[in-house]
Structure 1
């Protein structure tokens, strides 16, 4: 029997409309004559969802008893027995009641699919196994019900039911998802705007991966090797040369012309890893540049560079390939077309850009490959000079017993021995000497260089050719062995460097000390060119042009000329090594260390600058706040108090007692407001100066809130307090918490319309206690939220609310002083929610809460 198809509606959170979309599809299919049944649907009492069940056949659920309670579950057997064309089964990740035939509902669905029935189902992204831990980190709510990603990925169709976080929160506030008594708790916990935004992004990214998988699967099933320009992907090839920066920037500009294009950089290394012209410092810098431009860096192996580049480009479905124009001179281009021209000829539908750069015509720096040491070569020459004079009389004495081929074979063995000891050049010298000795002493007529027999001449020529060939092979093998040993040492050094970076060891001195120990150096110095001096004259010798940025070991170098090795890093830095001469092969590793040292120095300088700028910025912010206060809010109460006092001082005339009482109240209220403002200014000053002491202690929210509202006077009836049971104690200074709450409620009352009450709620989240003060004013758009905490920046939909008071700025400063935060949050509809988050007195016991269904 043919397996049924699975169609899944994926949602970022509960309430986005997955079940509604599933039922709507069922109604459409039923209208077209398809046999559709409802296997299991959970409407949660939502009227519009329940309305879509009308006219659809519902398969009865099976009833199960567990621990004294009765539950209803999907009856998969009944669905299979009914055998419709399409079954609607909600909540694919649901866990069945113990005792069911299957543990999970997706396993029930698998049986229904095997019966040849098409299933339409729903699932939330937080239930996918691969993102389960991420969701817990974001929301603080563990997910007990999970489903393997592969189950959903194997669905023939996955459709995202998308809705913006703001729209979902409005739907929640209107009571379309949960009953009214659950709305406030949901909005302040799981359905925070930040949580919903993160979950939505997870859902979009997960679905994008599935779409890519479907595209790749389709291309593979249909044998499509060509590029499909479904999305622009720009690949830039890096050789490790200095021109790579130009190529990366050019490729970035190309990708930016198409919105959503991907940028990928690739470097091809030889498969044996022993020979490379790439400069590690250049590659490290270019990788950083690529990643800073939003691209990714890749490294592949291949002996044929054009083939490796095109294989990579086709593998990532690239549409454009950026290469640098050849650096070889005219002579070099005569013998080979080069990578660029070859790649263009083989590229097919991939557009290839050959970018000009300053390095054209300067040639490529060949990889440094050392052969055997000088001592080995001298030993080879010495062996040749010794063994051939000894071998010749020995063979001459046996002339009557050995034939000419035997003599040639003996000399060939001697040449191979010389090649093993001294390499190619001593072996070539031994081969030529052996040819002459064989000709003179053993080829008739002897003691002459004439050869009478053509066979002997052929044998001598074969000897010289064989000797040269064997010497070359032996030398290549010796070089390869040496290169392999060197590559192993380089790899170990680079692995150590990479490990230190991954472990976060970014301290410059630590990095330089590691380099000094690796190569047994006396000192390692990072020199920096002094600003305002020229790099062109006496660069190496003038100490006045250099300053020591960092150094380890004894006797640091004052100029690059004092060291045994000098590794320039850019135009203004140089890594100078002292102790002994280093082999040229170590240059690549040293360049990698130099590049990392430059990055570490730059990071150290940035941290120092940030540390110096922080108190200046804080002081400037404090001064700005005070100036705003003095220029704005002081003026209003002073003017009101002055006017009231002046009018009271006028002759009584026709002024009634009621007028005198009103003017007195105005003056008193203005002076009280002035006193409150001056108190806030003094507290802000103490905060900035670090002289405001705190005495944290455990506080119960239900105790501290009423005490704070008592300070508001008889008008506290404008505040609704909703504090649920079970809120843990917070750790804070009681006086400061009261001051924060007074400022928050005062600000909220000031901006609430007449007749609207301020709502104060509390909750806990991830070992934090959160107190929310919600007003129903004009609100503030999310881009303006941060401005609401600056002095006198309480914004609504119009700018008419600018100039409130310093209370919010002080409240945030007091919260941060106690290790807490104060942040605005959008309120569904109009208004602004100020969220005060403070640490709990003790970490709450680990307990799991079920996420909303």
Structure 2
């Protein structure tokens, strides 16, 4: 359900919001808000102060006197008691108007809403009018601009739409010099802050820029309000409140001149806007080369304007309708490129625009192509050579054959019947051979009808005027029908071509955006689409050309050796070798070049993203390694040091039992330190790619027993049969994999619960299982099991969290795979899948 802007969430009248907007602190927003409150109070309005920040300013504090103040809601945060707006108290008090200072303020945790502007919305929903203040630097959209100007990024911001939706916005303005004087007199900040503020944030340049931002932002809001008012009151006549220059571009060479001239006109007035519009015909067929349109779009945007494309049946009407919709004040259009004799019969687009523009001014710009006439080449036929040949044969032989058929029936058929027969022949010729064969057929039919069927026969004279009129109408109708049929055939061919082009480009675009295509695949598709001999994507660096991708036989190695060259970007081109391509294919070729550019950019971004991921992973590894070294490695070192000190201290009298305990502790700590260092070295080798496995057929009963050796009796149960097939692996690396998995399982198994190691043969692999009855791992954490330095709740402090990461990495190196599964009844099962000997790993 859509809520009315004047209606609250419960259907009541929604309060009105008034915002006092300032360019910088100290311009007098709060003072102006309080002054407005006193004026309303004098008129009998129920006004209260919800929250006003005086910042120790005596003048502001004096203005609060005489107004009812709603007590603040006191909240404690980090040992400090702070006061916030008490929304509930204000709603209970239910005044007509409430003052709420500093709209962008961030509330203390526990206040209800994170932001004060959300509190204001609650008050508005309760039907209470709110007057508030905000500085332009706190508007979300201007945050980056303000930071660039002042060097200070504002942490407290308010969404622009909150302020834009206000019923009234009052700009509180003060010239920079006046604000600096106010600051110097101590009316803004305390004395100890004045010098620093004047030399940093409150510099004249900063204040001038902030003032301009406030004025421009407010002007945009006023402009939007004006557009809404005109729409609500159905005012179609342009109101020249701001200069908006619309330039009509066709994609031709003259459009560059028009755009630059329109930009110069727009620059004469502050706040003027430049809008370029290109009209597409309603048949959807391209009317200008896409590359030219794209270049003109870039030119418009570089000049600070916007480019728009609209569809219209009539160019002049479409341009004027667009201008009216944008409340434009001037339309810039070029002098027609048509020759003068053509304009005698058809008005130029500029003339048509001026005729229907109404109150919008039209500026006609001359250019080099003006009155030059369009350079027209020979229009290619949409028909095949065979059809054109058959058409000409029918155009010449058809009327003769038709005379031979109708001659025996002379006197029994009416002239109208003869005319319809020849007209049908002309249409048939148009369908087969096109316009000109049909015209020739109609003219030849005119002569033959006159000679053989109209009195006096055998002469090219006509006795009866109605027969002469019938022949003339016949020729005109035949030519008209032939023209329509020929045009329909051409349009059909163009539509099929456009659809094929669109389909090809859509397929390329989808594959590029999805990341499915490579440069080689795209180049190969270009060669296949246009049946070329070869295509090469070339890159120029330091004056030398290198091939990035190629397809076909003998691809060009430099642009000079290609028949057609397409520019992809500043350093790359597409070089095409083979048949000469018609100009009509150029727009599709340009689109292919654009897609190649997009593909290369995507590949560059993906490479950067991968590099960033690797660097991020390496950084995380370094951070975790430092943390591990600082803790886990120090623990066994401290134990070793204490044991050695105890054994070598001459002041201590140790018996044999104490000495044996210290020696055992020293051995355990040394073994633990050795395991940690081995894991760190293995992880380093895996990350640098220096692991070089030597794969050979091996029996598991030669590997697994060595991996589980050294555990107390009953800690590990081994079930690996000697009859199992051989596996293809590196015995030493696979032993490390199993050892790490078993060590991890033993550490997490409850006392008295042995770890079970089993193996089973499948068709192409051997599956080794390491089963424990420990606490297990939740499903959502299984994906993180094999990441370095992940302990997943293990607080034993006996490892770095590298064992499983090293095991997974070493397993991948030898062509095996490690997967974690739940143990039935509780615990974790590690499955190691190893390829059988004789199989592809």
1:590, CA displacement in angstroms?
3.5
Contact 1:281 1:595 in 2 (8 A): no
Look up the SS of the partner of 2:127 in the other structure: helix
User: What is residue 285 of structure 1 aligned with on the other side?
Assistant: 295
Q: Once the two structures are superposed, what CA deviation does each residue of 1:320-344 show, in whole Å capped at 9, x if it has no partner? A: 5544444455555665664446556
Aligned-partner Cα distance in 1 for 2:338–2:420: 44
Q: Which residue of 2 aligns with 1:215?
A: 226
Residues in 2 aligned to 1:96 and 1:513: alpha-carbon distance in whole angstroms? 63
Measured in 1, the distance between the counterparts of 2:515 and 2:442 equals 57
Q: 2:51–2:70: 8 Å Cα contact kept in structure 1? A: no
Corresponding residue for 2:389? Answer: 378
- Give the corresponding residue for 2:278: 267
Question: In the alignment, is residue 73 of structure 1 matched against residue 87 of structure 2?
Answer: yes
Counterpart selection for 1:296 from 303, 306, 310: 306
Residues 165-193 of structure 1: CA distance to partner in whole angstroms, max 9, x if unpaired?
Answer: 9x99x99xx99999x9xxxxxxxxxxxxx
Cα distance in 2, alignment partners of residues 511 and 319 from structure 1: 47
- Which protein has the larger Cα radius of gyration, Structure 1 or Structure 2? 2
Shift of 1:465: 2.6
Q: Give the 3 Å change call, closer, same or farther, for CA 331–208 of structure 1 in structure 2.
A: same
Return the match for 2:475 from 461, 464, 467. Answer: 464
Equivalent residue number for residue 587 of structure 1:
586
Secondary structure of the 1:520 match is coil
Corresponding residue for residue 18 of structure 2: 7
1:429-828 aligned within 5 A: 429-443=440-454, 455-492=466-503, 515-524=526-535, 552-553=550-551, 554-556=553-555, 577-590=576-589
What are the ranges of 5 or more consecutive residues in structure 2 without an aligned counterpart? 1-11, 76-83, 193-206, 606-620, 631-787, 791-841
8 Å CA contact 2:13, 2:127 repeated in 1: no
- Listed one character per residue, the Cα deviations across residues 221-272 of structure 1 (whole Å, up to 9, x for unaligned) are 5665555554444444433233444444444444444454433333333333
Q: What whole-Å deviation, never above 9, does each CA across 1:138-165 have from its counterpart, x for those lacking one?
A: 999999x99893x754433124678999
Distance 2:242 2:523 in 1: 45
**Contact 2:15–2:125 at 8 Å: present in 1 too?**
no
Residue in 2 that maps onto 1:25: 36
1:409 alignment counterpart: 420
Q: Is the 2:87–2:119 Cα contact (8 Å) retained in structure 1?
A: no
Matched residue, 1:720: none
Partner of 1:750: none
Q: Which structure 1 residue ranges, 5 or more long, are not aligned?
A: 65-69, 181-195, 532-545, 608-693, 704-840, 844-853
User: Are 2:539 and 2:573, in contact at CA under 8 Å, matched by a contact in 1?
Assistant: yes
Distance 2:482 2:283 in 1: 22
Contact 2:143 2:153 in 1 (8 A): no
Deviation (angstroms), 1:213: 0.6
Q: 1:227–1:349: 8 Å Cα contact kept in structure 2?
A: yes
| Matches of 1:356 and 1:120, distance apart in 2 | 55
Aligned to 1:742: none
Residue 442 of structure 1 and its aligned partner are, at CA, apart by 4.5
> Once the two structures are superposed, what CA deviation does each residue of 1:184-230 show, in whole Å capped at 9, x if it has no partner?
xxxxxxxxxxxx99999998776454222112234445665555554
Q: 1:109 aligns with which of 92, 116, 124?
A: 124
Note the C-alpha offset of 1:26: 0.9
- 3-state SS of 2:166 partner: coil
Q: 1:243 to 1:503 in 2, by over 3 A?
A: farther
Q: 2:431 aligns with which of 415, 420, 423?
A: 420
- Per-residue CA distance 1:273-298 (angstroms, 9 max, x = gap): 4362x344333333323333333322
Q: Distance in 2 between matches of 1:285 and 1:206?
A: 30
Whether 1:41 and 2:51 are equivalent positions in the alignment is yes
User: Aligned with 1:577: secondary structure?
Assistant: strand
Q: How far apart, in 2, do the equivalents of 1:222 and 1:481 lie?
A: 45
Q: Counterparts of 1:105 and 1:558 in 2: how far apart (Å)?
A: 68
Q: Mean Cα displacement is larger for which, 472-481 or 239-248?
A: 239-248
The whole-number CA distance in structure 1 between the counterparts of 2:508 and 2:374 is 27
Encode CA deviations 1:791-847: one digit per residue, 9 max, x unaligned.
xxxxxxxxxxxxxxxxxxxxxxxxxxxxxxxxxxxxxxxxxxxxxxxxxx999xxxx
Q: Does 1:364 align with 2:374?
A: yes
1:88-127 to structure 2, matched below 5 A, reads 88=99, 105-106=120-121, 108-112=123-127, 118-121=129-132
Shift of the alpha carbon at 1:568?
Answer: 9.5
Quote how far apart the aligned CAs of 1:480 are.
Answer: 1.6
Question: Higher relative CO (CA 8 A, sep ≥ 6), structure 1 or 2?
Answer: 1
Instruction: Give the secondary structure class of the aligned counterpart of 2:310.
Output: strand
Calculate the TM-score normalised by the size of structure 2.
0.51
Matched with 1:752 is none
SS at match of 1:241: coil
